[in-house]
Amino acid sequence: MSLQFDNSSYSTSLDPMHGEALKRLIQIFCSSGGCGSICSSYKNPFFLGFNTPISLSDFAMRLQTFFHSSPQSFVTAAIYIQRFYTVRPDLFNPQSSHKLMLAALTLAAKFTDDVCCKHEHFARCGGIDCAELKSLEMFLFSSIDYRGFVSPTEFYQMHELLKQILQQNSDHQTKTPQLIHEVQTAQVL
Structure confidence by residue, pLDDT tens digits, 102-111: 999 999 999 9
Angle at 108 between CA 85 and CA 158, to 5 degrees: 55
Q: Which residue has the higher pLDDT, 175 or 70?
A: 70
At residue 129, does pLDDT exceed 80?
Answer: yes
Question: Using CB atoms within 10 A of its CB, is residue 176 exposed (0-12), middle (13-18) or buried (19+)?
Answer: middle
30-85 residue pLDDT tens: 776 555 445 554 578 998 878 788 888 888 888 888 888 888 999 999 999 999 99
149-174 pLDDT, tens digit per residue, is 999 999 999 998 888 888 876 554 44
Report the distance separating Cα 83 and Cα 77, nearest Å: 10
Enumerate helices (H) and strands (E) in the chain, giving the number of each. Answer: 9, 0
pLDDT at 149: 95
- Mean pLDDT of the chain, nearest integer: 78
Task: Calculate the alpha carbon distances from 35 to 2, 45, 91, 131, 161 in Å.
Answer: 35, 13, 6, 26, 25
